[in-house]
Amino acid sequence: MGKHRIGWMPGDGVGNDVMECARIVLDKLGFDAEYVHGDIGWEFWKSEGDALPQRTIDMLKTVDCALFGAITSMPKEEADAELNPELRAKGYVYFSPIVRLRQLFNLHTNVRPCKAYPGNPLNLKENIDITVFRENTEGMYGGVEFYPLPLEVFETLAKNNPKMKRFESAGLENIAISTRIMTRQACARIVNNAFKYAQENAYKKVTVVDKPNVLRETGGLMVRTARVVAKNYPDIELEETNIDAQAMWLVKNPDKYHVMVAENMFGDILSDLAAQLVGGLGFAASGNIGDDFAVFEPTHGSAPKYHGMYKVNPMAMLLTTKMMLDWLKEAKMAEKLEKAIAKVIAEGKVKTYDMGGSNTSLDVANAVAELL
Ligand code: IPM
Ligand code: MG
């Protein structure tokens, strides 16, 4: 029995490659843990019709937190086409397992740091230090969608909002609706977590990003709630921006933003944009954090074409591992790991293809491990 009990979910594609890298540095750090494997990903969708089998959910209830590699996720038709023929037409529906995990375990706060480590040739600019707080359970990820549009839903909407009538002539079979449901509670919680982080790390401003001029109700709720929360932090400025303009400003002045907060979908987009400013998805770490459980995952996808080739940059996974150590209150190990990562980047000797090098993922992990 180790000191910590960690759910270990490589997933598919390059998930396994980068998880192996995480293990190299954890072992070198002397991290005392028991690792419990969890089945998750495309393989289980194809064979069982469930990318997140119940046994994995049960396992996750027994661990302190989990580390997750990557998974393939596809739109409906493509997913159906890959399902085991024996399971077809039996009502199996593909849901992204990571989105399910976030909702099932109420991992409401997705923290995505994007920091320009000195010497990274892929940095857009020096001194970029952005952390995106993304609401992780609601908004357009709520899964409340309709297609074709049931008559009852149409009539209810039309009765309550005259703007709905405009769509009637298209015909119900030609209308698709994805909802964006947001609650005051979740808005308050994510904004509060962003402010708390700003306070603890001496940042002077929190930027709330939405589009309240058009999305008057959901965007409006987010911004109005942020104003209320901000009153509890009189020393920290609340800045309000629109997602479209913010995308432009992030490219123009990436060093002027530090703590950013957004609902689920805007946070998803914003965090990919912020990641690209500091080297792309090869450097993008993230933590899905709830009240007493968390799942840590690099932001990148599964890149199936590189599966098993140890080609992708494991830095995102190593930085994710650092976040997990912090969450587990292994602050010394976390600091040591980040310093080693920073040094390998600064030296620029060992690097994967995205950084213009030809080293493998394992070479990078070993170079980091050597400094620990
Ligand atoms: C992310 C990813 C996921 C998301 C996908 C894989 C469902 O893009 O973690 O940012 O949209 O949240
Ligand atoms: Mg994303």
pLDDT in tens, 286-313: 999 999 999 999 998 899 899 999 999 9
Locate the ligand 1 atom nearest the alpha carbon of residue 272 and give its number.
10
In angstroms, what is the span from residue 47 Cα to ligand 1's centroid? 23
In angstroms, what is the span from residue 166 Cα to ligand 2's centroid? 33
> Mean of the pLDDT values across residues 137-153?
97
Query: Which residues contact ligand 1 via a Cβ below 6 A?
Result: 73, 96, 98-99, 268, 299
Taking the CA atoms of the chain, what radius of gyration do you get in angstroms? 21
The protein residue with its alpha carbon nearest to ligand 1, atom 2, reads 299
Phi first, then psi: give them for residue 177, nearest 5 degrees.
Answer: -125, 130
Which ligand sits nearest to residue 141's alpha carbon?
A: 1
Q: What's residue 25's pLDDT? A: 98
> Mean of the pLDDT values across residues 12-22?
96
Question: What is the maximum alpha-carbon separation in the chain?
Answer: 66
In angstroms, what is the span from residue 269 Cα to ligand 2's centroid? 6
Name the residue of 99, 111, 296 whose CB sits within 8 Å of the most ligand 1 atoms, as the mutation to test its pocket: 99
Which ligand sits nearest to residue 137's alpha carbon?
A: 1
In angstroms, what is the span from residue 98 Cα to ligand 1's centroid? 8
pLDDT confidence of 73, banded at 50, 70, 90?
confident
pLDDT confidence of 77, banded at 50, 70, 90?
confident
Query: 166-205: per-residue pLDDT in tens?
Result: 999 999 999 999 999 999 999 999 999 999 999 999 999 9
CA dist 295 and 129 (Å) reads: 23
Amino acid at 21: C
Work out the number of other CB atoms within 10 angstroms of the CB of residue 274: 24
In angstroms, what is the span from residue 163 Cα to ligand 1's centroid? 31
Please give the structure tokens belonging to residue 49: 């019709």
The protein residue with its alpha carbon nearest to ligand 1, atom 11, reads 268
pLDDT at 163 over 80: yes
Query: 20-37: per-residue pLDDT in tens?
Result: 999 999 999 999 999 999
Cα distances from 138 to residues 52, 73, 96, 104, 345, in angstroms, run 20, 19, 14, 12, 36
Cα dihedral value 341, 317, 288, 189, nearest 10: 30
Work out the number of other CB atoms within 10 angstroms of the CB of residue 163: 9
The protein residue with its alpha carbon nearest to ligand 1, atom 1, reads 299
The protein residue with its alpha carbon nearest to ligand 1, atom 10, reads 268
Please give the structure tokens belonging to residue 12: 């598919």
User: Which residues have CB under 8 Å from 29's CB, separation 6+?
Assistant: 325, 333, 336, 337, 372
Residues written for the chain: 372
Q: What's residue 89's pLDDT? A: 84
Which ligand sits nearest to residue 264's alpha carbon?
A: 1
pLDDT at 19 over 80: yes
> Mean of the pLDDT values across residues 316-324?
98
Please give the structure tokens belonging to residue 346: 């600064």
**Domain 124-143+179-277 - what CATH class?**
alpha beta
Q: What's residue 51's pLDDT? A: 95
Locate the ligand 1 atom nearest the alpha carbon of residue 98 and give its number.
7
Q: What's residue 75's pLDDT? A: 85
Q: What's residue 372's pLDDT? A: 96
In angstroms, what is the span from residue 299 Cα to ligand 2's centroid? 6
pLDDT confidence of 110, banded at 50, 70, 90?
very high
> Mean of the pLDDT values across residues 88-117?
94
Q: What is the pTM of this model?
A: 0.96
Percent of the chain with pLDDT over 70: 100
Q: What's residue 74's pLDDT? A: 84
In angstroms, what is the span from residue 270 Cα to ligand 2's centroid? 9
Sheet holding 287-289, edge to edge: 33-37, 4-11, 65-70, 294-296, 287-289, 109-115, 129-135, 259-262, 205-210, 237-242
In angstroms, what is the span from residue 128 Cα to ligand 1's centroid? 23
pLDDT confidence of 368, banded at 50, 70, 90?
very high
pLDDT confidence of 361, banded at 50, 70, 90?
very high
Query: 128-143: per-residue pLDDT in tens?
Result: 999 999 999 999 999 9
> Mean of the pLDDT values across residues 98-118?
97
Name the residue of 45, 111, 136, 268 whose CB sits within 8 Å of the most ligand 1 atoms, as the mutation to test its pocket: 268
pLDDT at 249 over 80: yes
Locate the ligand 1 atom nearest the alpha carbon of residue 301 and give its number.
6
Q: Right CATH number for 1-107+285-372 from 3.20.20.210, 3.30.930.10, 3.40.718.10, 3.40.350.10?
A: 3.40.718.10
Which ligand sits nearest to residue 96's alpha carbon?
A: 1
pLDDT at 1 over 80: no
Domain boundaries along the sequence of the chain: 1-107+285-372, 124-143+179-277, 145-177
